[in-house]
Amino acid sequence: MSQDYYEVLGIDRQAGPEEIKKAYRRQARRLHPDVNPDPASQEQFKVVTAAYEVLSDPRKRQVYDLGGDPLSASGAGGGYGAGFSFTDIMDAFFGQTGTRGPRPRMRRGQDALIRLEIDLAEAAFGTSHELKVDTAVVCGTCHGSGAAAGSEPVSCQTCRGRGEVQQVQRSFLGEIRTARPCPTCRGYGSVIPEPCDECSGDGRVRARRAIQVKSPPGVDTGTRVQLSGEGEVGPGGGPAGDLYVEIDVAPHQFFTRDGDDLLCDVTVPMTAAALGTRIDLPTLEGEGGGEGIDETVPLAVDPGTQSGEQTVIRGRGVPRLRGTGRGDLVVRVVVETPTRLAREEEDLLRQLASLRGEEQPTGQVSRPARGVFGRLRDAFGMD
């Protein structure tokens, strides 16, 4: 033979299979016709491929080392044997070996997602709900096998249980073999001659079942509660996936939520804001959420309270989902000015204005409150 295949691949005569594969991969990437269309490179690529075909096959390599021509009986010109397959090239490029083999009938089921609407008190203090879900469960007739009673899956005669069939095509590289899933058994390697009447061979059926869902204290809209193994049962009676319950908190009558804090407005008449008053403020505990805690908290409105002033009541917000303690209850006072006055009320207000010297108020003009950065600009004289 005119070519030294070891020299062609640039390897030692004691090189092992992995070294031979790496050497061929290195040469093939450089000389492959798709990368290098030069005719001389294509001829060299054929030689490199022939060298790999011989040295990667222990039997052919032994013949070659003994001085024989392992390709002479193949009948293919240019050093290409009829048994050299496209799979060999893929092995050399990507390190793939062997075939995929049959895929299992029993597979894990899909995860499922449902939504649960709860009120704010339930979200704050936790709750438990029973949900009805339509999902896939193991077939009670065949118990997941997919076969009718007294029968069982048998090996596919088309692929001989391999789950795939090979197609051989001739090209300038020789015989190129490609594999695809068997059309008869769909890649399973076996067929069910007598499918179960209940599930039609799938091993599972649709059914409605009840699931108890517990949400921890502090959840919010978008929080997902994971229930392991409560999702769809897999094909062939495979293990079930997980069920995710996404929480949707309904709007409250007067509380809004900001993280772990609760916000609300308290409207008081201007007389109460001027003179001061005390209000029993309802809380979420009053809706059955917190046991052993007062359902109301006292809110003191000091004399002269201005509209928009806030009072923070510590520890009466929402329990923290991932931590300890609770947020705060932030109350904003809104002073209500009457829009319609009786004659007696108007007379009393005019008397009050006279006593305070406010019959003809001109108003006080001032700059609006500046933010933090605005105050910094003022302090440093910046425009």
For 113-169, write each residue's pLDDT tens digit: 999 999 999 999 999 999 999 989 999 999 988 999 988 889 999 888 888 887 777
Q: Residue 139: left if φ>0, alpha if ψ -120 to 50, beta else—which one?
A: beta
Give me the CATH topology for the region 5-94. Helix Hairpins (1.10.287)
- CB 288 within 8 Å of CB 121: yes
Q: Among 29-38, 70-79, 317-326, which stretch is predicted with the lowest mean pLDDT?
A: 70-79
pLDDT at site 291: 53
- In this model, does residue 346 exceed pLDDT 90? no
Confidence band of 171 (pLDDT split at 50, 70, 90): low
| Within this chain, domains 5-94 and 256-376 share the same CATH topology | no
Give the pLDDT confidence of 85-101 residue by residue, as tens digits.
Answer: 444 444 444 444 444 56
Cα–Cα distance between 213 and 211 in angstroms, integer?
A: 6
The better pLDDT of the pair 303, 179 is held by: 303
Distances in Å between the Cα of 156 and the Cα atoms of 92, 164, 166, 197, 256 are 31, 10, 15, 21, 63
Confidence band of 255 (pLDDT split at 50, 70, 90): very high
Confidence band of 377 (pLDDT split at 50, 70, 90): low
Q: How would DSSP label each residue in 263-281?
A: EEEEEEEHHHHHH-EEEEE
What is the average pLDDT across 173-200? 85
Query: Which superfamily does 256-376 belong to?
Result: Urease metallochaperone UreE, N-terminal domain (2.60.260.20)
Domain chopping of the chain, boundaries = 5-94, 112-153+192-249, 256-376
C-alpha angle 190/196/198, rounded to 5°?
Answer: 145
For domain 112-153+192-249, the question of CATH label 2.60.260.20 is answered with yes
Provide the percentage of residues in the chain whose pLDDT is more than 90. Answer: 43
- Relative to beta strand 224-227, strand 154-155 is unpaired
- In this model, does residue 311 exceed pLDDT 60? yes
Cα–Cα distance between 296 and 240 in angstroms, integer?
A: 46
pLDDT at site 101: 67
Cα–Cα distance between 330 and 255 in angstroms, integer?
A: 10
